[in-house]
Amino acid sequence: MMLAELKSFNRELEGKVRERTAELTIANRQLREEINERRYMQDRLNYLATHDFVTRLHNRNALEAYVSELLARIQMQEINASFLLIDIDRFRLINESCGCIAGDELLRQFSDSIAGLLTRSDFFARLGGDRFAVVTHCNNGDKGLALAQNILKHLEQFSFQWEDRQFKLAASIATVPLTRIMVSYDQVMLAADEVIFVAKCEARGGIFSYEEAAKRSNLHKENINWASRLVDALHNQLFRAYFQMIEFLPAGAGIAQPQYRLEVLMRLWDAPHQRMISPGEFIGPAERLHLIPELDKWIVGYTLNLFAQHPQLLERLDMVSINLSAISIREPQFAQFIFNSFTTYNLPANKFCFEITETQAIVNVDSARQFMQTLRELGCHFALDDFGSGFASYAYLHQLAFDTIKIDGIFVRDMDTDPAHYAMVKSIAEMAVSLGKEVIAEFVETAEVATQLHQLGVCWGQGYHHHRPEELNYQALEKCLLY
Let me know if residue 11 belongs to a domain: no
Are 160 and 249 in a shared domain?
no
Give yes or no: residues 190 and 292 share one domain: no
230 and 305: one domain? yes
Give 57's contacts (C-beta < 8 A, 6+ positions apart). Answer: 51, 111, 115, 124, 125, 126, 132
Co-location of 238 and 283 in the same domain = yes
User: Looking at the structure, do residues 385 and 361 belong to the same domain, yes or no?
Assistant: yes
* pLDDT for the residue 219: 44
Contacts of 118 (CB under 8 A, 6+ apart): 124, 134, 136, 147
Domain that holds residue 421: 225-481
**Residue 98 belongs to a domain with what CATH number?**
3.30.70.270
184-208 residue pLDDT tens: 888 888 888 878 877 776 655 688 8
- Structural domains of the chain, count: 2
At 288, which CATH number? 3.20.20.450
Among 218, 253, 277, identify where a domain stops.
Answer: 218
| Mean pLDDT calculated for residue range 43-68 | 83
Residues 308 and 328 grouped into a single domain: yes
461 within domain boundaries: yes
**What does DSSP assign to residue 221?**
T
Task: Tell me, yes or no, whether 308 and 401 share the same domain.
Answer: yes
Considering the domain boundaries, does residue 25 fall inside one?
no
Report percent pLDDT > 90 for the chain.
37
For position 102, what pLDDT does the model report? 82
Q: Are residue 340 and residue 428 in the same domain, yes or no?
A: yes
Same domain, 277 and 193: no
**Residue 344 in domain:** yes
Residue 220 has pLDDT above 50, yes or no: no
Same domain, 447 and 315: yes
22 belongs to a structural domain? no
Q: Are residues 182 and 231 in the same domain?
A: no
Question: What distance in Å separates the CA atoms of residue 204 and residue 137, rounded to the nearest whole number?
Answer: 26
End residue of a domain, out of 218, 242, 260: 218
Q: Is 2 exposed, middle or buried (0-12, 13-18, 19+ CB in 10 A)?
A: exposed
**What does the pLDDT look like over 117-140, one tens digit per residue?**
988 889 999 988 889 999 998 876
User: Considering 218, 239, 274, which residue would you say is the last residue of a domain?
Assistant: 218
Whether residue 10 is contained in a domain is answered as: no
Euclidean distance between the first and the last CA atom of the chain, given in angstroms as a whole number: 122
CA atoms 462, 468, 471, 475: torsion sign:
negative
440, part of any domain: yes
- Please give the C-alpha separations between residue 372 and each of 93, 348, 369, 378, in angstroms, as whole numbers: 34, 17, 5, 10
Q: Is residue 42 part of a domain?
A: no
Q: Please determine, for residue 60, whether its predicted confidence score (pLDDT) is greater than 70.
A: yes
Q: Are residues 160 and 240 in the same domain?
A: no
Residues 473, 245 contacting (CB under 8 angstroms): no
Average pLDDT over residues 15-44: 76
Is pLDDT at 4 greater than 80 in this prediction? no
456-482, pLDDT tens digit by residue?
999 999 999 999 999 999 999 999 987
